[in-house]
Amino acid sequence: MLLSRYLVPFTYYNLILIILFSLSVSSIESFSIINLISYALLHFTIIYLGLYYYRRSLYSIYFLYGLGFDILLINQIGPHLFIFMTLLFFFNLIKKYFIYFSYLRIYLLILFIQLLIILLEMLLTDFFFDYDFNLDKYVKFIFISIISSYPVFFIFSKIDNLQ
Amino acid sequence: MFYRKKIGHLTKAKNLGKLYITILFIFTFLLILFNKTDYIVVNKIKSLSTDVLNPISGFITSPIKVATQAVNKINEIRYLQQDNLKLKEEVKRLKKWQILAIKNQRENNALKKLLDSTTTNISIIKTTTITSQTPDIYARSIFIKAGVNHGVLEDFVVVNERGLIGKVISSTENNSRVLLINDQNSSVPVTSLSKKFNAIIKGTADGKYLTSTFVKDEKIPKIGDVLLTSGNARIFPSDMLVGKVIKVSEDGFLALPYVDFNNLEFVQVINTK
């Protein structure tokens, strides 16, 4: 009963983020696809949070995940942190236009933004830190995102109804 | 009066929130700006984050790692008989090599005595385990359970029984980060057994191979040539096994590393005396 106050959808999403982040940054022997799926889904979740649960604390969350990704995956600071912070700032400016969007439109919008930010992160990493843009990997991300995003979006809509 | 106080309080909270976001953005900008300059604060943030995040992510992913290990074990058991036959063949082959190696070692020792040469210029700092490995998304690196407290410092070389693994790029009290030689930002000066050419190699985008970035005097090696460290950069000691040339073109060559980077367990940190 005491915990029920804290068991709100936003808390569940944060737990999902922590799990996805952990799975994205530590290599799993023989099942490297898990890393790619978690990385793609974390981007999906973070955009979903930005659109549906916009609040000031999200700036800290975006900052920490951006910084964590940059340090653990690239050992440099820049691409993820910059993209995440800019994304949230961008959501703040244009969120009023999304309110009247239909369920399907929002889903497609999240998918589009997800693929766009992964592309931008890869391009920025190539440009600033000399990690060549890997088209094969990006195509994998596209496939993973398309296949996994709708079921995840459906599960998220169920989590939203938990409150 | 009460409403005015309440509105004033709300405005204050809103302003504080705005100030916090502004500070966060400024901090983000400064971190990105100072990242490339090797600024001491940025390095501290990097090592602190690594020390904090790695154990947390390791703990959270441990059930999945245990499950994947179980799957691997089951697969190993399935192919046990085939593996056994392969190993028997390998033992036969290696016994022949062992006899040859012992003979060569005796000969080497005798020649060294004649020349009065020192045996080695490498000192072993620490043999340690890997705590985690970064996935193949961007950089290729490993985290080892040895840091400044164990005498492991930046630029020290990391090897295993198969050959060169990489070099230490950052070191905290008890942990260190090692940049693997198959990373795109690594740079290893190499030569062949016959010392006929010199080149610099780095990892390919998929991390499976090593590719040449520079070849001295355009002397290209042959397919099958064994690559060893040349010792030119003075970071890597000379004559350490790196890889084998598998493809040659006009611009350079492609090599297969000797080390299996997907199955690293124990490594040795060494330093040239």
Where in chain A are the domains?
3-160
Q: Are residues B228 and B138 in the same domain?
A: yes
Residue B15 lies in a domain: yes
Please indicate, yes or no, whether residues B136 and B251 belong to a single structural domain of this protein.
Answer: yes
> Where a domain ends, among B62, B97, B115?
B115
Say which of A72, A74, A82 has its CB closest to residue B32.
A82
Pick from B239, B227, B258, B267: which is nearest to B120 by CA?
A: B239
Residues 6+ apart with CB under 8 A from B113: none
Is B60 within 8 Å of A22 when comparing Cβ atoms? yes
Say what the pTM is.
0.85
Residue of B nearest to A130 (CA): B185
Q: At what angle do helices A57-69 and B40-78 cross, to 10 degrees?
A: 70
Average pLDDT over residues B184-204: 89
Burial B185-214 (b: 16+ CB within 10 A, else e): bbbbbbbbeeeebbbbbbbbbebebbbbee
Question: Which chain A residue lies closest to B262 (C-alpha atoms)?
Answer: A29
Q: Answer for the pair B255, B244: CB distance below 8 angstroms, yes or no.
A: yes
Q: How confident is the model at residue B81 (pLDDT cuts 50, 70, 90)?
A: confident
Examine the pLDDT at B256 and tell me if it is beyond 90.
yes
Distance from CA of B94 to the nearest CA of A (A): 28
Confidence of residue B273 (pLDDT cuts 50, 70, 90): low
Partner-chain residue, chosen from A23, A72, A81, that has the shortest CB–CB distance to B50:
A72
Residues 6+ apart with CB under 8 A from B173: B147, B148, B149
Distance CA B139, CA A80 (A): 14
The CA-CA-CA angle for residues B132, B136, B138, to 5°, reads 105
Q: Encode pLDDT of A86-106 as tens digits.
A: 999 988 888 778 778 888 889
Q: Are B264 and B164 in contact (CB under 8 A)?
A: no
How far from chain centre, in Å, is Cα B65?
A: 21
* B101 & B168 share domain: no
pLDDT bin (cut points 50, 70, 90) of residue A140 is very high
The pLDDT value recorded for residue A145 is 94
A3-160: which CATH architecture?
Orthogonal Bundle (1.10)
Q: Is residue B54 part of a domain?
A: no
Interval B128-147 mean pLDDT = 90
Overall average pLDDT of the A22-50 stretch: 91
User: Percentage helix, strand, coil, to 5, in chain A?
Assistant: 80, 0, 20
pLDDT more than 90, % of chain B: 22
Same domain, B84 and B215: no
Nearest by Cα to B262 from A35, A72, A45, A113 = A35
Note whether residue B88 is domain-resident: yes
Q: Are residues B111 and B131 in the same domain?
A: no
Are B87 and B157 part of one and the same domain? no
Which residues in A21-37 are b (16+ Cβ under 10 Å) and which e? bbbbbbbbeeeeebbbb
pLDDT in tens, B30-65: 888 888 776 788 888 888 888 888 888 889 988 888
pLDDT at A162 over 80: no
| CATH number for the domain harbouring residue B268 | 2.40.10.340
Whether B203 has a pLDDT exceeding 80, the answer reads: yes
Q: Which residues of A touch B138 (CB under 8 A)?
A: 73-74, 125, 129, 131
Residue A44 backbone phi and psi in degrees, to 5: -60, -45
B41 class by beta-carbon count within 10 Å (0-12 exposed, 13-18 middle, 19+ buried): exposed
Strand partners, B164: B159
Report pLDDT for B118.
Answer: 59
For A76, which residue in chain B has the nearest alpha carbon? B35
Query: Is A157 in the B-facing interface, judged by CB distances under 8 Å?
Result: no
Would you say residue B214 lies in a domain? Answer: yes
Hey, is the C-beta of A93 within 8 angstroms of any chain B C-beta? no
pLDDT at residue B7, as a whole number: 56
Run of H or E residues at B7: helix B2-35
Q: Tell me how close the Cα of A16 comes to any Cα of chain B, in angstroms.
A: 11
pLDDT at B44: 84
Q: Distance between CA A102 and CA A94 in Å, rounded? A: 16
Residues B137 and B161 in one domain: yes
Task: Tell me, yes or no, whether B190 and B261 share the same domain.
Answer: yes
- Cβ separation B20–A56 shorter than 8 A: yes
Asked if residue B106 is part of any domain, the answer here is yes
Q: How many domains does chain B have?
A: 3
Residues B262 and B182 in one domain: yes
How many angstroms separate the CA of residue A7 from the nearest CA in chain B?
A: 20
B102 and B222 within one domain:
no
Task: Spell out the residues 6+ positions from residue B230 whose beta carbon is closer than 8 angstroms to its own.
Answer: B189, B190, B191, B195, B198, B238
Which structural domain range is residue B238 located in? 122-273
Partner-chain contact B263 A136, CB within 8 Å: no
Q: Are residues B177 and B206 in the same domain?
A: yes
Residue B249 lies in a domain: yes
| B39 backbone φψ class: left, alpha, beta (φ>0; ψ -120 to 50) | beta
Are the beta carbons of B136 and B245 closer than 8 angstroms?
Answer: no
Query: CA B133 to CA B130: how far, in whole Å?
Result: 7
* Ranges A5-14, B8-17, B153-162, B173-182: which has the least confidence: B8-17
Q: Nearest to residue A72, comparing CAs of A114, A42, A49? A: A42
Same domain, B141 and B9: no
Of A29, A71, A78, the CB nearest to B50: A71
The predicted pLDDT at position B141 comes to 93
- pLDDT level of residue A59 (50, 70, 90 thresholds): very high
Place of tokens 């016994």: B95
Residue A143 has pLDDT above 80, yes or no: yes
